[in-house]
A and B are shown apart, each in its own frame.
Chain A
Amino acid sequence: MKNKISEIFRKFLNIFKPTKNKVVRSDDFEQTTYILDDTDKIQNGETIISVKNLEVQFRVRAKVLTAIRKVSVDIKKGETFAVVGESGSGKSVFTKTLVGMLEENGNVSGGQLLYAGVDLAQFVENKDWLKIRGKRISMIFQDPMTSLNPLKRIGFQVAEVIRIHRGLDKKSAKEEAIKLLERVGIKDARLRYRDFPFQYSGGMRQRVVIAIALACKPDILICDEPTTALDVTIQAQILELFKDLKDEFGFTIIFITHDLGVVAEIADRVAVMYAGQILELGTAEDIFYHSQHPYTWALLSSLPQLGRNDEDLFSIAGTPPSLIEDVKGDAFAPRNVHGMEIDYYKDSPLFKISETHYAKTWLLDPRAPKVKRPKIIDEIPERVAAIYTGGDL
């Protein structure tokens, strides 16, 4: 009788238990068969992620905000793909969509997100995502303090991922974790295994986060402003670490940042985003030396490191448009120095400039007036060199 009551009581309690965020154990993973076994067959340089006409919407107080407006891009295996833009341009939303980490009120409202032939946009349940997230696509966030659990020891947090995703036992997971921590450059990893996050410095914490992200040897590593919270010297070290690890582990990096200096340092290809669209896409050389879009020009010429004491910096007037209403025409038109009438009522297509280089501006239409890009962009190499050789040229 007593047992029965307690059983009913337990059942009753179970109703209130959250089922959504169920703890997933390693054996749950054994039962599911992977649809994605052929990702290893993709050769370097072939498309690993193909985004087609992606559209992401958020419901905000009975209104619809379109954060990503028809983005199409192919990301190749083994490359470092950087996404640049000011805040609110949708660069973070874009990468969050890739790992299914959109907030509750957001959803993919159109388009496809093909990862090795599987459409991730069709995923509904968290269970589907768990096969991808962390294991195939890992993510590193801006602030290492908020992505680590302050109450758990560093070693535990690294080993936990290895235990759950790779199914190792505690002891070998620990050995593996120490090896990883040493690889990302933590000295005396064995001694510091039982430290808490607050005992680590900012740069070291970010190294731990990188170790966790790499624990499952992911195909794709998404870095959302990983160095913004760090000092310049530490930032340089972390960027160097990314380059080394990329060669060793052979993953693809999707790098989000607003710092064009960092982009030049690390990226193979660059996408410039504005108001939920890709305005210019090309190799790093295309973007820094042959950019065609007025927005890219504006971003480059407003860089303080290129400024000289006696001249004012270029600054972009106005603010980004609200994405709650439908944006008519080109979203950048009101802030565009070279804006034309057509910008206000018709959105420009993505013009192809070369095999690798695309830009979305009416200026590239044969009927448009010829506009010269600002002088400062042609002077980038000289001005950068001047930083080391001293003041004025």
Chain B
Amino acid sequence: MHIEIDEISKQFGSTAALTPVSLNLPSGALVALLGPSGSGKTTLLRILGGLEYPTSGRILFDGQDATGLTVQQRRAGFVFQSYALFRHMTVFENIAYGLRARPRATRPPKAEIARRVQKLLELIQLPQIGARYPNQLSGGQRQRVALARALAIEPRMLLLDEPFGALDAKVRKELRQGLRDIHDETGLTTVFVAHDQEEAMELADLVVVMSMGRIEQIGKPADIRARPASDFVRNFITA
């Protein structure tokens, strides 16, 4: 799905989290929102997912105004920073949650839900862990379960908030490839937030460098490396 962000701004009380930003995300792209903390990248992601409403501006999904859509109507697969798995449910129940929450008319039958959950568990290469609880999983496994849960609702886009933030270096590398594979397989427009420039540069097709609620530069990783648009970008990507 093609996402257009048109002059979006966000005020929290008297502080501006986003000064009007505009951004065009082509369908099927893997996009990184890169910036230091407080740069507004998570706010932008949450606005895309419908968890936060912009103070002004519009969001267009495939050319259609989506600004007023509720979080449920957005159908965005969202992976939270600490994964936010339902701790009182098994992995199976976590992944099935979105399918079970559908209205009766569109809810798949039980056997179909089980089949789809199993397929997703295979996609994240953890076919055996359906009966476990989140606190019995490693950090990397949790991240993959959160990804499977987000994919279960057949989302229109995938939004990830610091998906590798809480993991050690080795697991990070593995999961980076995992996310790339899942993106390529599903073809979903994917936006992830990162504060680590190496991660963003290596994984994304398109990098959006942000600072203080503004977009500093948009471009392919190689272009940003070759031609940083400002001193801030130059300092940030060499840091």
Mutual binders A and B: no
